[in-house]
Amino acid sequence: MIVHITRALLLLLVACTATAQPLKIIASIYPVKLIAQEIVGDRHSLEVLLSAGQSPHDFAFKVSERRKLAQADVLLWVGPDLEPYLANISEGQSTLAMASTVSIASSDLELDDRETKEGSADAEGTHLHGHHHSQDQHLWLSLEDTRRFALSIEQHLIQLDPEGENTYRENARAFFNQLEQLAQLSQQLTGAATRTEVSSAGLSRPYAVAHRAYDHFLESFPFPEPVVLSNSPELSPGARSLWQIGKKLDDNSCLLVEGRNPQRWLTIFAERNQLQTVPIDIMGDLSGVGTYTELVTAMLEVFSRCSTLE
């Protein structure tokens, strides 16, 4: 009897020690880490797969990065459309893709739309809860998609680490409050409730972005739509297309560019049309931001300065 009791106590001790061990969590890109760290806090180790300045659009694995992934307990990533190189690797690990949480939410929303289409009084909805479909894969720029992903991370971690449930729930609640404050901040910056009101009130000026990457950001914040030079960062428009785009902009209009070294055609386009190139960091890893709120706030400041009149 004493032997059985001793064995049971040892097994219990081993189980408790195992659950108390911190998890090693890998975030595919820096924005995913910023979201995850709001829920994880300092309870577990959290690393980023891509180093600062690397783009998920043209990422290629190194041996050290494959090793880092193999050693991870959890992989948090955006999804196969943005990160196809992670699709096969993620199958054998504990993973959570942001795109999967968004697609589930979109399916639910389509059902709600069918049920409430008649009599809908507000087509825009609130800035935090509005949603539209887009091929743009920069999902972390949507406050609603970010909220859903953070909620999924909370639930995922509770399953892996039940002892941390209270911590995860408290952290998530605090983060959701931050997201609501960001939604309110956008109205203060624009001085209007919707982008339609911004434009009709004559408060906006034309500005351009290098490629389509801000659809989700504009879901949450009522800035006027930018002039888009290219649908993809891998494609540069033809000369005729750029000439037509240039006519839509004014002298000294902003051209928002990402990364440390803009492509040559962007620099030439800006010079020919007398545009000011304004850096914008949608990844947050070059500007030194330390939280998701800081990332979005920095982008709000750029959009406010470039799209609205003084």
Q: What is the pLDDT of residues 121-172, one digit of tens each?
A: 333 333 344 444 457 899 999 999 999 999 999 999 999 999 999 999 999 9
The angle at the Cα of 292, spanning 286 to 296, to the nearest 5 degrees, equals: 75
For 19-53, give the DSSP string. HHSPPEEEESSHHHHHHHHHHHTTSSEEEESSPTT
Q: Is residue 5 part of a domain?
A: no
Q: What is the pLDDT, as a whole number, of residue 104? A: 63
Tell me how far apart the alpha carbons of residues 305 and 295 are, in angstroms, rounded to a whole number.
16
Judge contact between 259 and 274, C-beta under 8 A: no
- Least confidently predicted of 38-42, 173-177, 208-212, 234-238: 234-238
C-alpha distance from residue 79 to each of 56, 129, 149, 165, 177 (Å): 11, 22, 12, 26, 26
Structural domain ending residue among the three candidates 160, 184, 208: 184
pLDDT by residue (tens digit) across 39-52?
A: 999 999 899 998 88
Q: Is residue 259 part of a domain?
A: yes
Residue 38: is its pLDDT beyond 60? yes
Which residue range forms the structural domain that includes residue 64? 21-114+124-184
Same domain, 223 and 244: yes
pLDDT by residue (tens digit) across 17-36?
A: 444 588 999 999 999 999 99
Q: When comparing pLDDT for 116 and 206, which is higher?
A: 206
Residue 233: is its pLDDT beyond 70? yes
pLDDT band at 197 (very low <50, low <70, confident <90, very high): low
What is the sign, positive or negative, of the torsion defined by CA atoms of 140, 145, 149, 154?
A: positive
C-alpha 65 chain-centroid distance: 22
Same domain, 197 and 237: yes
Q: What is the pLDDT, as a whole number, of residue 123? A: 32
Start-to-end CA span in the chain (Å): 82
Structural domain ending residue among the three candidates 143, 168, 184: 184
Same domain, 104 and 218: no
Number of folded domains that form the chain: 2
- CATH number for 303: 3.40.50.1980
Q: Is residue 4 part of a domain?
A: no
Tell me how far apart the alpha carbons of residues 305 and 301 are, in angstroms, rounded to a whole number.
6
Q: What is the pLDDT, as a whole number, of residue 183? A: 83
Q: Is residue 6 part of a domain?
A: no
Same domain, 108 and 251: no
Q: Is residue 208 part of a domain?
A: yes
Nearest to 261 by CA among 234, 274, 279, 236: 279
Q: Is residue 96 part of a domain?
A: yes
Q: Is residue 129 part of a domain?
A: yes
Q: Is residue 12 part of a domain?
A: no
pLDDT band at 209 (very low <50, low <70, confident <90, very high): very high
Q: When comparing pLDDT for 8 and 275, which is higher?
A: 275
